[in-house]
């Protein structure tokens, strides 16, 4: 486990950095393996529960400010008459995002991770105790904002959805390959800002496919509404596959 951030990243460079600490290599690696093995067991339990309830579960991951909460707010407003949602909000501190979601009328629960840089399966297992899963079609999980730690932690979700906004630069899939490899879908958000930037959409798509040839890509803007219909169709398709 990383002393600095409390997570178990899969990045070998991160491990090299750890080895400069006083702990022995073997011991550190085995603590990481235990942590991830325990998380994977709990994620399996979550997945079994979600399966039993016919629940579609999406885990939204991104750097801070790419638009996860805005995408959720927009999606809930547009689709809540068609589907029943519940939302788990992960953040280190504050209940700001859960408050924003609750304002749409959808059940929301905030999980504060404190110093932790990601949600884990244990937190999610307890978080869903706040919802009536029998009456829920889709559980949305907004993970803590960063493109590193959440990649290593299975929450029992059906898919990770990586949100990348055009203000972040097209090279991010190459810089954070673990995250884009672990994700089933990449949403490129804030398309409305493209005229003001030098973001290369074509390159971004190519970089994402280079690290994960299977990844699906949808471009959208919560402000202009462009591309939202494709995201909603993707969501409906996932639900149909599940049930
Ligand atoms: N221009 C533009 N801004 C957006 C869009 N979506 C979100 N934002 C803004 O980006 C900022 C961060 O959004 P937020 O949803 O809080 O990001 P999060 O940290 O990933 O949850 C807010 O000021 C949003 O209004 C979009 O499609 N276009
Ligand atoms: Mg947010």
Read off the pTM.
Answer: 0.91
The confidence score (pLDDT) of residue 84 equals: 98
Q: What is the pLDDT of residues 43-54, one digit of tens each?
A: 999 999 999 999
Torsion angles phi and psi, residue 45, rounded to 5:
-60, -45
Please report, for the chain, the start and end positions of each structural domain, with discontinuous segments joined by +. 12-242
Ligand 1 pocket by C-beta < 6 Å: which residues? 62, 64-70, 145, 189-190, 192-193, 221-223
Q: What is the pLDDT of residues 62-110, one digit of tens each?
A: 999 999 999 999 999 999 999 999 999 999 999 999 999 999 999 999 9
Q: What is the pLDDT of residues 143-167, one digit of tens each?
A: 999 999 999 999 999 999 999 999 9
User: What percent helix, strand, coil does the chain show, rounded to 5?
Assistant: 50, 15, 35
| 3-class SS of residue 72 | helix
Position with higher pLDDT, 174 vs 18: 174
> Which CATH entry fits the domain spanning 12-242: 3.20.20.70, 3.40.50.300, 2.60.40.60, 3.40.630.30?
3.40.50.300
- Which numbered atom of ligand 1 lies nearest the CA of 222? 27
Ligand lying closest to the C-alpha of residue 96:
2
Tell me which of 63, 64, 65, 193 to substitute to probe ligand 1's pocket, judged by most ligand atoms within 8 Å of the beta carbon: 65
Going from the Cα of 169 to the center of ligand 1, the distance in angstroms, rounded, reads: 15
The confidence score (pLDDT) of residue 16 equals: 42
């Amino acid at each position: 486990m990383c002393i600095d951030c409390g997570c178990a990243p899969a990045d070998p460079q991160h491990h090299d950095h750890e080895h400069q600490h006083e702990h022995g290599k073997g011991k550190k690696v085995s603590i990481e393996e235990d942590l991830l093995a325990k998380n994977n067991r709990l994620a399996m339990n979550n997945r079994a529960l979600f399966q039993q309830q016919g629940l579609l579960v999406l885990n939204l991951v991104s750097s801070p400010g790419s638009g996860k909460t805005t995408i959720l707010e927009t999606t809930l407003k547009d689709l809540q008459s068609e589907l029943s949602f519940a939302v788990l909000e992960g953040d280190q501190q504050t209940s700001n995002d859960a408050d924003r979601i609750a304002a749409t009328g959808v059940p929301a629960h905030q999980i504060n991770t404190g110093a932790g840089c990601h949600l884990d399966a244990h937190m999610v297992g307890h978080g869903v105790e706040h919802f009536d899963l029998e009456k829920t079609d889709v559980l949305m999980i907004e993970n803590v904002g960063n493109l590193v730690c959440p990649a290593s932690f299975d929450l029992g979700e059906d898919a990770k959805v990586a949100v990348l906004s055009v203000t972040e630069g097209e090279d991010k899939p190459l810089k954070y390959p673990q995250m884009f490899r672990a994700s089933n879908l990449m949403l490129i958000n804030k398309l409305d800002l493209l005229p003001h930037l030098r973001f290369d959409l074509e390159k971004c798509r190519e970089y994402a496919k280079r690290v994960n040839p299977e990844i699906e890509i949808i471009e959208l803007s919560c402000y202009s509404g462009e591309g939202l219909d494709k995201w909603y169709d993707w969501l409906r398709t996932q639900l149909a596959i599940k049930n």
